[in-house]
A = this chain, B = another copy of it.
C-alpha cells in the first residue's frame, strides 16, 4: 500500500501502518507523508522505503505509481490526512484505478462524499473507511447475532459515546490556542464532537442493528462556557424499520476515558457492548438467563471468529480491531485483483456508503439543532 499523510509527528499515521502490518499481509511501499516534501522523505526513511517512492505530493504518488508495472505498483492507498484532505486523494486514487482505505470521516462535505460514493459505484473499486470499533470481535458478534435473527425484530437502540478529554475547564480552550486551526470548522468539520466521535457512535449503531437512521431530532452545542466548538450532542432517533433510538455524545464529561456504549433491543432479546471492556458482549434473551459472549468462546458466530487472532480467554484490544479493517479490506482487494469473489465474511468493513451515511447524519443533527430541534430526515 501507499500512504497519504502520516508524516513526522502524526500519531494516527503510524497507527495505521502498524494496523496494516499486524498480520504480515500488507506492506507499506510508498507514501506522500507530509505537505512538506522534506518531511515526506524523512518519514520514508523511517519506514525503510525506497527513497524514490517517498513522494512530494499525493498527486505525484498516484501518477508515478500508475506508471509502474502492475506487480510493482501499490494495490491501494491509505489516507490518514486531516479531515479536510480526505476527499482529494480519495477521488484521485479512484479515478486512477487504485483501491482506498481512508480514515473517517469520509469527507467534511456531503457533496464530496456523494461524489466519492458515485465514483466507487462506477469504478467498482474497494473503498474502506476505518471506523475501528466495527473491527472488534464482539461488535462483529453483535452484528452477526442480529443478522442471524437472534434478537428478532429490532425495536429500540441506544448509543452513547462519552469522553472526558475536553472536560478540564482550567486548561485553555483549544479553540483559542496555538493549534486553533485544528478547531476551524473548515478543517475539522462543522461539529467537532459529531465528527470526532458522533460518527463512530452512529456507524456502530448501523453496523450492529443493520438499520438506517432515517430521522433525527437533535441538540448540539458547547457546554463549557466560552467554547467555540461543539462538545456535546444529543438526539432522538427514528430508524428505517420504525424502531426508535437515543443518541448521546460528549467530550466534556470529567473523568471519562473512551466510553462508547451501545444497546440494541429486539423482540427476542437485547445486546449490550462497552468499548472499555470490549472483550465481553452481554446478551439478554427474552425469558431465559442473561449470557455473556467472549472471543472464540461458546456461541461465537463465524464473522466474529474470523475477527479474532487468539484462543479463548486471551483478550484482544483496540489495535487488533483496527487491524481487522485493514485485513479485510486487503483481502477484498486481493480477491478483486485476482478476479475472484471474496469470502462474504471479509466484506463487513465500513465502505464509502457507510461514510456518506455518517456525514448525512452529522448534517441532519446540525440542521435539526439549528432549527430548534426539528425532526430532520437524514437522506
Q: Judge whether B254 and A265 touch: CB under 8 Å.
A: yes
A372 to B368, CA, bound (A): 12
Please judge, given known A-B contacts A234-B236, A373-B375, whether A246 and B243 are in contact too, CB under 8 Å.
Answer: no
Q: Judge whether B315 and A158 touch: CB under 8 Å.
A: no
Q: Judge whether A316 and B313 touch: CB under 8 Å.
A: no
Residues in B with CB closer than 8 Å to A375 are 372-373
Given B244, B298, B314, B373, which contacts A288 in the complex, CB threshold below 8 Å? Answer: B298
Please judge, given known A-B contacts A289-B298, A375-B373, whether A221 and B248 are in contact too, CB under 8 Å.
Answer: no
Residues in B with CB closer than 8 Å to A312 are 257-258
Would you call A172 an interface residue if the criterion is a C-beta within 8 Å of the partner chain's C-beta atoms?
Answer: no
Residues in B with CB closer than 8 Å to A288 are 298-299
A217 to B298, CA, bound (A): 37
Listed residue (A152, A155, A269) with the most chain B CB atoms within 10 angstroms of its CB: A155
Given B169, B254, B269, B315, which contacts A255 in the complex, CB threshold below 8 Å? Answer: B269
**Chain B, residue nearest A254 (CB):** B286
Instruction: Provide the A280-317 mask, 1 if CB < 8 A to any CB of B, else 0.
Output: 00011111111111100111000000000110111111
Please judge, given known A-B contacts A156-B252, A160-B158, A259-B313, whether A244 and B217 are in contact too, CB under 8 Å.
Answer: no
**Chain B, residue nearest A296 (CB):** B257
Q: Judge whether A224 and B283 touch: CB under 8 Å.
A: no
Would you call A8 an interface residue if the criterion is a C-beta within 8 Å of the partner chain's C-beta atoms?
Answer: no
Q: Judge whether B243 and A223 touch: CB under 8 Å.
A: yes
**Chain B, residue nearest A293 (CB):** B289
Q: Judge whether B18 and A21 touch: CB under 8 Å.
A: no
Please judge, given known A-B contacts A18-B24, A270-B254, A291-B290, whether A319 and B313 are in contact too, CB under 8 Å.
Answer: no
Would you call A256 an interface residue if the criterion is a C-beta within 8 Å of the partner chain's C-beta atoms?
Answer: yes
Please judge, given known A-B contacts A286-B164, A298-B287, A320-B317, whether A265 and B253 are in contact too, CB under 8 Å.
Answer: yes
Residues in B with CB closer than 8 Å to A232 are 156, 244
A18 to B314, CA, bound (A): 15
In the complex, what's the smallest C-beta–C-beta distance from A247 to chain B, in angstroms? 8
Q: State which residues 228-278 of A face B: CB under 8 Å.
A: 232, 234-236, 243-246, 248, 250, 252-259, 263, 265-270, 275-278
Please judge, given known A-B contacts A278-B315, A319-B309, whether A221 and B244 are in contact too, CB under 8 Å.
Answer: yes
Would you call A167 an interface residue if the criterion is a C-beta within 8 Å of the partner chain's C-beta atoms?
Answer: yes
Residues in B with CB closer than 8 Å to A84 are none
A-B contact pairs, 22 of them (CB 8 A): A156-B250, A164-B286, A169-B267, A217-B217, A217-B219, A218-B236, A232-B244, A234-B244, A234-B245, A235-B236, A236-B373, A246-B246, A254-B265, A255-B287, A257-B312, A258-B314, A275-B313, A279-B317, A289-B299, A310-B319, A372-B375, A373-B374
Q: Which residues of A contact B (CB under 8 A)?
A: 18, 21-22, 24, 151-152, 155-156, 158, 160, 162-164, 167-169, 217-219, 221, 223-224, 232, 234-236, 243-246, 248, 250, 252-259, 263, 265-270, 275-279, 283-294, 297-299, 309-310, 312-320, 372-375
